[in-house]
Amino acid sequence: MIGIIDYGMGNLGSVTNAFRFLELDAKIVTRKQEMDSCRALLLPGVGAFGDCMAHLVEHDFVEPITTWVDAGKPLMGICLGLQALFQSSEESPGVPGLGIFDGTVKKFDLPKELKVPQIGWNRMTEVKPDCPMFSEIDDESFFYLVHSYYVCPQDESIVAGRTEYGIPYCSSVWQDNVFATQFHPEKSQALGLRMLRNFWTWAEEQ
């Protein structure tokens, strides 16, 4: 069972529908006690970094998530759920993130012809082609993005995929039991569904 964390800011409908379409066991988790019956967690998110962290604190998910990761259990982050894994964000100065990864989140500073936020399809170059979540997904495949900020890991070794939008930036990370994407697999049609299925399979094998 995969637990989809509901802290008041996630794109729960589309993520839940994706797992239902794949006929994979997933449930919405609204309280930390419900995590006990899950073998993996998914942290979705849309909106602002500061609001995200405030909601995670309010719903008492911060310590349970970090404890989960420290215990080596599988976690997947999506969009804002990726950004929340880092220490801080330019979007919300002074607000600490989960700090699972060292680094910060920066806002795009691009030429006028490139609109911010980036909205639409863009390709991902696989930096770690051996990542289990990339199984049966071709390099340079397209995924759907909606974001104004991008993650800047201090440790480049966690970067699993890169995307180009005026600048090359990290669009997915993978280290040990944690995988996360800036793009939305649940909105990326067949390849996105394949990625979610890969995560479910990978989590089952851990």
Concatenating the DSSP letter of every residue in 138-169 gives -TTEEEEEEESEEEEES-GGGEEEEEEESEEE
Beta-sheet strands, E only, within 30-140: 40-43, 75-78, 88-89, 103-107, 118-126
* Radius of gyration of the chain measured on its C-alpha atoms: 16
Q: How many of the other CB atoms lie within 10 Å of CB of 78?
A: 27
Indicate if 186 belongs to the active site. Answer: yes
The residue from 79, 91, 131, 170 that is catalytic is 79
Contact indicator for 179, 172 with CB cutoff of 8 Å: yes
Chain position carrying tokens 């802290």: 7
Contact indicator for 73, 204 with CB cutoff of 8 Å: no
The residue from 38, 59, 147, 186 that is catalytic is 186
The residue from 38, 52, 59, 184 that is catalytic is 184
Indicate if 184 belongs to the active site. Answer: yes
Q: Which residues are catalytic?
A: 79, 184, 186
